[in-house]
Chains A and B, each alone.
Chain A
Amino acid sequence: MMLGSGAGNDLAEDMMQEVILTVWRKAALYSPGRGSVATWIFTIARNARIDRLRRQPVQPYVDVETVSIACDAPSAKARLIGNQSDEQVRRALDLLPDEQKTVIELAFLKYMPQSEIAEKLGLPIGTVKSRARLAYKKLKDKLEDLK
């Protein structure tokens, strides 16, 4: 993930170590009712990446997590989207039309901003946004069908 976002080998390795150390420190804060382990580790890695590569404060993300831990009782629905669903999310993603899947993968595998995705695909940014929006809606419908 860090290499994909443009970090060199040494920096990527430092950041990987930092992420695992954070996972170690915060292990008691993980709750299966708020998502899968992979999703939780993704959010920690995302925050580390924002902090280091974009040089912007990660505080807003930390604040949302604080509110979430204090206010959101682990729910059956979140457990569904979280716990048992790594496999289901994958299957739902596989069902997306290629043009939507490409936008998602560039955003979440290459960590490209929407403006860069638009440039790379030669599309107006509005089209990239609407593909992201459609993809989200389809994933949501698909995963809600499973309830």
Chain B
Amino acid sequence: MSIHHHLDDASLMRYASGDLDPAFCVIVASHLAMCGQCRNAVRLAEAVGGDCLGQTPQATVSDDAFARLSQMIDAEAGRQPEKPVAVQDPAGQLQSNVPLPLQHLIGGSLDDLNWRWIVPGVHRHRIELASTDSSLFMLRIGPGRKMPEHGHGGTEMTLVLSGSYKDAIGRFGPGDITDLDEHIEHQPSVDSQDPCICLVATEEPTQFKGLVSRLMQPLVGI
């Protein structure tokens, strides 16, 4: 897989420090599962965390803390140590076009989803997550179709899982992620022969431009 569009460094830092909202955590983790370069880049951000942990002032624990911990460790004596590969059929799971963090939410196949028609050529599958104000959903957009031009009230990330699209920023294929800030406007159009299937996280409802698009917004609900 050749990936050309990667995570913003600020997002790497937020992932490493544990500051991402659940919807964005899933999409960032899904990109990381597909992109060795970004997995490498996250390690540097985590090394900052490791260093800061070392700089944290020491705290006093209760007198029996060590004794209790020793008991817990002794109680582990009969337990099998954790093995390096914890997934069943790792080859199959890792080669699927559904990245592992997403497989836990939608299963291993893009075909069996409950796709809902929203406008001609565009279907959506919502992913419900607890404790988030953001939305996470999947879009399936037919070949040659365009999304209405839109800007963003907040951060939006789009990860391509299959097919491809292009917009003013460039061409996006499987594994490519857009990590857009507010104020950026774009109009993606699908240029693959098969539908383009993406995972999308939005911080605020996406703002469509133009009257027709604005009328469409409540219908589309993205």
Task: List the interface of chain A (C-beta within 8 A of B).
Answer: 1, 3-4, 12-13, 16-17, 20-21, 24-29, 34-36, 38-43, 45-47, 49-50, 54-57, 59-61, 63-64, 66-72, 75, 77-78, 81-82, 85-86, 89-90, 93, 104-105, 107-109, 111-114, 126, 129-130, 132-133, 135-137, 139-140, 143
Contact = CB atoms under 8 A, between A and B. Distances in A.
Interface footprint category on B: 35 or more
B10 A56 contact: no
Nearest to B39: A68
B68 A17 contact: yes
A137 B17 CA distance: 16
Interface stretch (B57-65, B110-118, B145-153): B57-65
Contact of A25 (B19, B39, B55, B76): B76
What DSSP secondary structure best describes chain B's contact surface?
Answer: helix
B29 interface: yes
Contacts of A90: 51, 54-55
A111 B17 contact: yes
B104 A59 contact: yes
Contacts of A20: 69
A114 B45 CA distance: 15
B56 interface: yes
A72 B34 CA distance: 12
A115 to B, nearest CB: 9
Given A86-B54, A109-B56, A13 B13 contact: no
B81 A133 contact: no
B84 interface: yes
Given A38-B54, A71-B36, 5 more contacts: A46-B49, A64-B29, A67-B33, A107-B14, A132-B13
A110 B195 CA distance: 44
Given A67-B33, A78-B40, A133-B8, A105 B52 contact: yes
A67 B48 contact: no
